[in-house]
Structure 1
Amino acid sequence: MLKDFKEFAVKGNVIDLAVGVIVGGAFGKIVTSIVNDMIMPVIGLLIGKVDFTNLFISLDGTKYLSLAAAKEAGAATLNYGVFINTVIEFLIISFSIFIVIRQLNKFNKKETEEESKASTKTCPYCYTEINLKATRCPNCTSEISEQLSEQ
């Protein structure tokens, strides 16, 4: 069992997954810092010097100067400012992943198109794409000459 586990753990897919999780965690920390330290202060300044981390509703009805003061007093709070920060983080991460996957799909599409062009030819009678090795068109059933097959 230990040997099987070692073989499983050393396979490339598991190692790639582990690296992806580590890089993803680090990327999440970077995005959190960008949102909390760069984007939200600017938005708060534009709105009127609002600190989003201190936007909360105290459920016990008492007014607190900050979220830290409310937590120190043990008050239950609805932290909608922190929630707004988290939503913005999610949007940034989602958009970043969308861009990366979009680029990967473009690269894969180009490779697929190149592979399909190299393995097909056009039938001179019905002008459909057929396999490069075909001697008869599967669409119009015309015989394809050897000269065209060599081209």
Structure 2
Amino acid sequence: MLNEFKTFIARGNVLDMAVGIIIGAAFTAIVTSLVGDLINPIIGLVIGGIDFSNMYVVLSGDVPPGASLEAARESGAAVFAYGAFLMAVLNFLIIAWVVFLLVKGVNRAKDSVMRAEAPAPEAPAGPTQEELLAEIRDLLRVR
């Protein structure tokens, strides 16, 4: 069983997957910061500073008017937090768009590198040795 485990770990797929997970975790922090610190404030400016995350409807319980979603939840009230859901969907769409643009850019860069490294097409080869010998033979027969 130990040998099987060693074989499993030594496969390239497992190492590639581990590297992908580690890079993905680091990449998540970058994308989260991009969305939260750069894109969301711009969207908030465009739509007039509306923050969806504190929009909710109290289903039961007492919540003071104008209380934040966190305060409403801490008071023990049952709240329908549609704003938090809208923000989660909006963040997902923004993150998906950013990842799409990054993958598209990486693929475009990779394609341009592949085109640059592609070998030049070979000049058309002349006749083969057999074809030359057959031509010489035919010329000798004519004489």
The bucket for the TM-score relative to the shorter chain is 0.5 to 0.7
> Offset at 1:121?
7.8
Q: Secondary structure at the match of 1:40?
A: helix
The equivalent of 2:58 in structure 1 is 58
Cα separation, partners in 2 of 1:93 and 1:13, compared to 1, 3 Å: farther
The equivalent of 1:97 in structure 2 is 99
Higher relative contact order (CA 8 A, sep 6+): 2
User: What do the CA deviations read for 1:17-72 (whole angstroms, capped 9, x no partner)?
Assistant: 12212222232233333333443344334434433321222222754511111111
Q: Which residue of 88, 91, 113 maps to 2:90? A: 88
Supply the RMSD in Å over aligned alpha carbons. Answer: 3.4
The equivalent of 2:8 in structure 1 is 8
Q: Are the equivalent residues in 2 in contact too, given 1:52–1:85 (CA < 8 A)?
A: yes
Cα separation, partners in 2 of 1:60 and 1:39, compared to 1, 3 Å: farther
The structure having more radius of gyration, on CA atoms, is 2
1:67-146 to structure 2, matched below 5 A, reads 67-106=69-108, 107-108=110-111, 111=114, 114=118, 118=121, 145-146=127-128
Distance 2:84 2:112 in 1: 40
The equivalent of 1:29 in structure 2 is 29
Tell me, which stretches of 5 or more residues in structure 1 are unaligned? 123-131, 133-143
Q: Secondary structure at the match of 2:76?
A: coil
Normalised by the length of structure 2, the TM-score is 0.61
> What letter corresponds to residue 58 of structure 2 in structure 1?
S
Distance 1:42 1:104 in 2: 26
User: Identity rate of aligned residues, in percent?
Assistant: 43
Normalised by the length of structure 1, the TM-score is 0.58
> Offset at 1:100?
3.9
Give the paired residue count: 125
- Structure ranking higher in helix proportion: 2
